[in-house]
Amino acid sequence: MSSFPALRMRRGRSSPWMREMLAENRLHPSDFILPMFVCEGSGCEEPIASLRGVSRWSVDRLAERAREAARLGIPCVALFPNTPARLRTDDAAEALNPDNLICRGIRAIKDAVPQIGILTDVALDPYTSHGHDGLTDDRGCVVNDATVEMLVRQAVVQAAAGADIVAPSDMMDGRVGAIRSALEQDGHCDVAIMAYAAKYASAFYGPFRDAVGSKGLLKGDKRSYQMDPANGFEAIREVELDLAEGADMVMVKPGLPYLDVLARVKDTFGVPTFAYQVSGEYAMIEAAAEAGAADRDALILETLMAFKRAGATGVLTYHALDAARLING
């Protein structure tokens, strides 16, 4: 009889109950944040062609989506506006309007579903006529400090409307500290900051720009402020700075192409660390499923588990509702 090592790893995979008992990571609906796109109008649902299954919703339709998320156990929604073209200007003034799409959306959800959290995007690209995340000078270059001043005012407007988490996604230097100081001074001490600390200049953002109406507006690119995909250690420096300035949570964006960065950030700092499974990642999964390359439900759950295994506290994902339904059975 041939000898065999006493330890057989397959024993731990021998049955469903054994695999469940020994699982190192688990998915739960509370791991997810549901992004939602807001549009003008009444009673509107606008399907987004490049994001199959995702729509823009008018303010009066947001509450029903937030209510569904809360029922499934999703703790938070993230709002992104599709600002009408007539309100997009070089100075992004609509970002400071206390009655803009985002602020109306916050109030509508808070009135109808007060138990759910609301995260808002702090950046100017949904409001600028040139598609950049900040203000530009005569040469078309994004200027840091003047942009930070606008972002501070934008964050305070969103907090006053009822946002629970403000999430600066612009990648300007020093904006987290300036926003934290302004929130404290304005009495919004309990409003958290989730900093897009490691946001890369990625090719995976295309469908999102379609969703918020900035596709085709961008003049140039965003490589002077978003991170170079070649760099990993630089992300650690960015996260360290944002935490020192008062960020409560940090984000790595995109998700799957940067799992190494996500793991490194979580291992280094041990702080709440989120991943954004961005629009291009979502579109790839949908395209693979539609082509018959793999089972859609299995793709959704396996990719989300990858984030958890890498150390993510939670994931912003357009698959949040589907994933929560699958987990809840």
Catalytic one of 110, 222, 253, 308: 253
Distance from the first to the final alpha carbon of the chain: 46
Annotated binding site for Mg(2+): 238
The widest CA-to-CA distance across the chain, in whole angstroms, is: 82
253 is catalytic: yes
Bridge partners of residue 142, in order along the sequence = 136
Nearest to 208 by CA among 41, 75, 60, 82: 82
Catalytic one of 199, 222, 266, 308: 199
Annotated binding site: 238
- Give the chain as a 3 state SS string: CCCCCCCCHHHHHCCHHHHHHHCCCCCCHHHEEEEEEEECCCCCEEECCCCCCCEEEEHHHHHHHHHHHHHHCCCEEEEEECCCHHHCECCCHHHHCCCCHHHHHHHHHHHHCCCCEEEEEECCCCCECCCCCCCECCCCCECHHHHHHHHHHHHHHHHHHCCCEEEECCCCCCHHHHHHHHHHHCCCCCCEEEEEEEEECCHHHHHHHHHCCCCCCCCCCCCCCCECCCCCHHHHHHHHHHHHCCCCEEEEECCHHHHHHHHHHHHHHCCCEEEEECHHHHHHHHHHHHCCCCCHHHHHHHHHHHHHHHCCCEEEECCHHHHHHHHHC
Distance CA 15, CA 19 (A): 6
Letter for the amino acid at 102?
I
Q: Check whether the bond before 254 is cis (ω within 30° of 0).
A: yes
Name the residues annotated as catalytic. Answer: 199, 253
